[in-house]
Structure 1
Amino acid sequence: MPKNTPPPSDPSAAQLKPQDASTPQPVFAQPEPSPDPTGFKTPVTDQKDKEIANLEPVPQPVGNAVEPVLTLAQVYGDQGAAKTAAIQSAGQIVFHSVGDTGSVDGPSTQSLVADKMVSDFTEDDDADVPSFLFHLGDVVYYFGEATYYYDQFYEPYRSYPAPIVAMAGNHDGVVYSSDSAPTLEAFLNNFCAPSPVVTPDAGGLSRTAMIQPGVYFTFDAPFVRVLGLYSNVLEDPGVISDENGSNTVLDQRQVAFLTAALQRIVSEKYVGAVIIAVHHPPFTGGTDHGGSPQMLADIDSACTAAGFWPHAVLSGHSHNYQRYTRTVNNTETPYIVAGCGGHSPLSTIRGTYRTPYTIDDTLTLNSYDDTDYGYLRLVVNAETLTIEFHPEADGGVTKTPDDTVTVNLSTRALS
């Protein structure tokens, strides 16, 4: 194991049981590539049912764990040990992240982004090949129904040859009054299955369901931990707690989870990258959505209690790309919005800014793109976390990002 390789998760932390030879094995992509579809099998017809959403209860994770944990080794099944060993030997991990991929107007925009991500698997050096996609929510529109999972998820990612882990977005959990399905039902079936089985929603495609322990959890991979939060179903703002008793639907479980995960990072002296992922962005300049200041206060309270702050925060929800730098206690942290994964139309930024644009003494807008669909490519090694934005308009052969930020994991310096 290379020097300074982050240690594996504490085996006492609540995790799904390792798979054995009798356990169904995961499948990620079709055995042969096929052309992109030109239309949906099930056109979206539920826009008319859109109504004001109310907060929905958050399901308990597997085993009611305070900190549910899923590892990269687990999602690769019997190949997990070899996969993690190869990453550690290479000295870095590469992965994708993006949100708001589900399209309601047809498959073209979501396919463009998915196809460009697939082109990243043709790298000559295995160390540069992505190991997974961390989805930032809004997999399916408008109301997360099972009937739309084939067209909006399984079909566009039929050739993506790696695991897809996901946070639920508001559209994945919201239900309307005439819908008998409970909140998050289809999301739980397709991302929080007990084992990697093919669900009926896959429509005959080979990708198996993900085995996440719940809608909030720690995802532990070599060199990086992603702490995922579920920000519920409102259009705005994101909500992860009872917000000092202002709502009776939610409780403090997610704040307790985040605090416990960060405290474990401190107690283990973990040296890898730590990323918080949540669908609703703490900050956004998009015209269609606002920020979530109380959600940010809940995240800050967990960080303060644990004495540890993330190296980056990733979100979706606003249908564009934005990168901010937030300064807290003289430490700079990137806050990135990547809700440009294929949902149409894109959302414009409120105004035209020459970046970097100082918002106040704690927040700067460093970069934005409200005209291109695209995704994030993240590279983590023992010293740095690099986050790149790749617009699909650059084409599959172009590997140079349009925007990038690198975080020094020990000093927290940005470059």
Structure 2
Amino acid sequence: MSDSSRDTAEGAGWGAAEPGGYKTLMPEHVEKLSWLNPKTLWAARNGTVASWFGDPTGRTRSRWVAQRAAAGARADKVIRREVPERFSFMVIGDTGEGDDSQYAVVPGFLRASRGTDFAVIASDVIYPVGSTDDYGTKFFRPYQDYRAPIYAIPGNHDWYEDLGGFMRVFCDDAPPLDPEPAPRPLTRAWWRALLWHKARPADEQRLVAARALRSQPEQRAVQPGPYWAIDAGPVRIVGIDTGLLGTIDAEQGAWLREVSRGPRPKILVTGSPLYVDGEHHPCAIEGGGTVDDIVRDPDHHYVAAIGGDIHNYQRYPVDVAGRTIQYVVAGGGGAFMHATHTIPRVSIAGVTEEDFRCYPLRGDSLAFYSKLYARRLLLRRFFPLTEAEGTAVVAERLGIKPVRSPGPDVRVTRRTRLVATLLGAGGRPDRTSRFRLPVRKLYTRLFSPSSTTYSPPFFKCFLRLDVGPEELRIRCFAATGNHAQEVDPPMEDEVRIPLSRSQDR
């Protein structure tokens, strides 16, 4: 296996590496997504509108579920797959930008996924608004050579057109919902309806041509709705839909409690990670309780909870009453990269910095963003940090031993410290913190997508899960866009989880 970013800088994709061949997979013309474009911002307004005037996601989701039930979908929403005693599947999150950063993942994904029985997309299948017309270049084309079914849970971007495109593609061509009665004038619902982005009619010929790219019988996947469970071998995989604002409705909550019962080991896949960036986000359920309450309940036997939405990899092994549950962020499947260098030194729920894993490494993340800002701000002499400088200054700020040695000749200077502070390295406040550039909240919402890079390294990732009667093995593989990592995707993290009865006590 090739070097990973934890071994060498070259394993991270730095240096004069040979670019990969992923561009040959792309369409001739690729529209570059810019969130600075007012047209894009206006189309993607529904999350903001829902936060102002109330979130209708739960009611809309219930209508979709009722429609699927009327069409004959299983009431328990459980997909039963006949697989060998030992089988494998893939998880890839936040895929659908349709540009270099998505297609750069494909060669390594296809290589690492050989022999797997199915794949799951965890959140945000299609950017920016989940349009049906975008599925050709952002779903069917990139994964046309993956010869197994692909299931999915929606992210907030898939909900920006009320989930219409998602339901058509993954739920047996579900027809549009009937319009709801007009709300009373000047109520919150009336204002919401007035401002709400509504889907345009789909180009049916375009969709037919797109579907032909994944039309083999072994690729067919029909799911009972936006949330579901898969029984495969010794495990149950439970996928939940957290909608626009990262919560679930009471109806889905009741289903989740029911489908979580029993001694079978379970893996949660969610659009909103429960542990991320050194914080706990338990995910509220309408009417009371949280998703994490259900995951932690020893009678439910969850061994892992994997979430998308944040575009990198993180893992938190949390001890829950003597059992270890692996909380994983796996949203690095194709969209712009969210920073890891802004994650403070980890100390949460008994998880320390020594237990925590992330990709990209914080030093690589800082070097990546320093080069990005150098281009955007035209400060090419001041801003760029080498990967070694980024590694050294992050280690100093967090008081940790660097995962990859920066080398004996690397000095942490005033300039490197100032750049690290401006870019929020370590999340540690100091005198210059008021001048930090927007690498977290504001940058995530507005500037990051418009600053997507179109050349390696991209720092993308995906998971392969190998399941046997006694053990679940989770591996995180990297995709940089370079040839070496396409041919032999480096493994950035690995964890083995026992599935014996002792795990379920």
Aligned equivalents of 1:40 and 1:200: distance in 2? 16
From the superposition, tell whether residues 396 and 168 of structure 1 become closer, same or farther in structure 2 (CA, over 3 Å): same
Kindly state the Cα deviation for residue 332 of structure 1 after the two structures are TM-superposed.
1.1
Report what 2:165 is aligned to. 186
Report what 1:206 is aligned to. 213
Report what 2:140 is aligned to. 154
The amino acid across from 2:119 in the alignment is: L
Q: What is the CA deviation profile of residues 364-389 of structure 1, one whole-angstrom value per residue up to 9, with x for unaligned ones?
A: 76100135101001111000011100
**1:295 matches 2:284:** yes
- Out of 330, 334, 338, the position equivalent to 2:326 is 334
8 Å Cα contact 1:256/1:302 also seen in 2:
no
Residue ranges of structure 1 left out of the alignment (5+ in a row): 1-32, 74-83, 123-128, 176-182, 242-251
**1:380 matches 2:467:** yes
Report what 1:367 is aligned to. 357
Question: What SS does the corresponding residue of 2:214 show, helix, strand or coil?
Answer: coil
Report what 1:405 is aligned to. 495
Aligned equivalents of 1:345 and 1:384: distance in 2? 31
* Percent of aligned pairs with the same amino acid: 25
Residues 300-309 or 382-391, more deviating: 300-309
Aligned equivalents of 2:359 and 2:112: distance in 1? 21
**1:350 matches 2:342:** yes
The amino acid across from 2:163 in the alignment is: L
Kindly state the Cα deviation for residue 108 of structure 1 after the two structures are TM-superposed.
1.4
Report what 2:238 is aligned to. 227
1:54-69 → structure 2 map (5 Å cutoff): 54=50, 55=55, 56=57, 57-58=60-61, 59-60=64-65, 62-63=68-69, 67-69=76-78
Aligned equivalents of 1:109 and 1:231: distance in 2? 25
8 Å Cα contact 1:384/1:408 also seen in 2:
yes
| Paired residue total | 324
Aligned equivalents of 2:495 and 2:78: distance in 1? 28
Aligned equivalents of 2:108 and 2:222: distance in 1? 26
Report what 2:25 is aligned to. 36
Q: What is the CA deviation profile of residues 328-347 of structure 1, one whole-angstrom value per residue up to 9, with x for unaligned ones?
A: 21211000001000102433
Report what 1:70 is aligned to. 79
Kindly state the Cα deviation for residue 153 of structure 1 after the two structures are TM-superposed.
1.0
Kindly state the Cα deviation for residue 188 of structure 1 after the two structures are TM-superposed.
0.1
The amino acid across from 2:310 in the alignment is: S
Question: What SS does the corresponding residue of 1:101 show, helix, strand or coil?
Answer: coil
8 Å Cα contact 2:282/2:291 also seen in 1:
no
Report what 2:40 is aligned to. 47
8 Å Cα contact 1:325/1:363 also seen in 2:
no
Residue ranges of structure 2 left out of the alignment (5+ in a row): 1-21, 175-203, 366-458
**1:239 matches 2:329:** no
From the superposition, tell whether residues 261 and 351 of structure 1 become closer, same or farther in structure 2 (CA, over 3 Å): closer
From the superposition, tell whether residues 255 and 307 of structure 1 become closer, same or farther in structure 2 (CA, over 3 Å): same
From the superposition, tell whether residues 199 and 361 of structure 1 become closer, same or farther in structure 2 (CA, over 3 Å): farther
8 Å Cα contact 2:237/2:266 also seen in 1:
yes
8 Å Cα contact 1:226/1:274 also seen in 2:
yes
Q: What is the CA deviation profile of residues 197-254 of structure 1, one whole-angstrom value per residue up to 9, with x for unaligned ones?
A: x9842634331463100011111222321111000012xxx1013xxxxxxxxxx111
Report what 1:93 is aligned to. 87
From the superposition, tell whether residues 308 and 201 of structure 1 become closer, same or farther in structure 2 (CA, over 3 Å): same
| Bigger fraction of residues in helix | 2
RMSD over aligned Cα, in angstroms? Answer: 2.9
Question: What SS does the corresponding residue of 2:105 show, helix, strand or coil?
Answer: helix
Aligned equivalents of 1:136 and 1:119: distance in 2? 20
- Out of 143, 156, 161, the position equivalent to 1:170 is 156
Question: What SS does the corresponding residue of 1:116 show, helix, strand or coil?
Answer: helix
From the superposition, tell whether residues 294 and 118 of structure 1 become closer, same or farther in structure 2 (CA, over 3 Å): closer
Question: What SS does the corresponding residue of 1:317 show, helix, strand or coil?
Answer: coil
Report what 2:256 is aligned to. 258
From the superposition, tell whether residues 295 and 327 of structure 1 become closer, same or farther in structure 2 (CA, over 3 Å): farther
**1:116 matches 2:108:** yes
8 Å Cα contact 2:237/2:267 also seen in 1:
yes
8 Å Cα contact 1:282/1:295 also seen in 2:
no
Question: What SS does the corresponding residue of 1:342 show, helix, strand or coil?
Answer: coil
Aligned equivalents of 1:291 and 1:282: distance in 2? 6
Question: What SS does the corresponding residue of 2:221 show, helix, strand or coil?
Answer: coil
8 Å Cα contact 2:167/2:173 also seen in 1:
no
Report what 1:29 is aligned to. none
The amino acid across from 2:503 in the alignment is: R
Kindly state the Cα deviation for residue 39 of structure 1 after the two structures are TM-superposed.
4.7
TM-score, normalising length: structure 2: 0.58
- Out of 479, 492, 498, the position equivalent to 1:392 is 479
Whose radius of gyration is greater, 1 or 2?
2
TM-score, normalising length: structure 1: 0.70
Aligned equivalents of 1:35 and 1:303: distance in 2? 42
Question: What SS does the corresponding residue of 1:211 show, helix, strand or coil?
Answer: coil
Question: What SS does the corresponding residue of 2:495 show, helix, strand or coil?
Answer: strand
Report what 1:14 is aligned to. none
Report what 1:178 is aligned to. none
Question: What SS does the corresponding residue of 1:389 show, helix, strand or coil?
Answer: strand
Question: What SS does the corresponding residue of 1:148 show, helix, strand or coil?
Answer: helix
Aligned equivalents of 1:274 and 1:305: distance in 2? 12
8 Å Cα contact 2:113/2:464 also seen in 1:
no
Q: What is the CA deviation profile of residues 323-364 of structure 1, one whole-angstrom value per residue up to 9, with x for unaligned ones?
A: 0112221211000001000102433342464xxx43243677
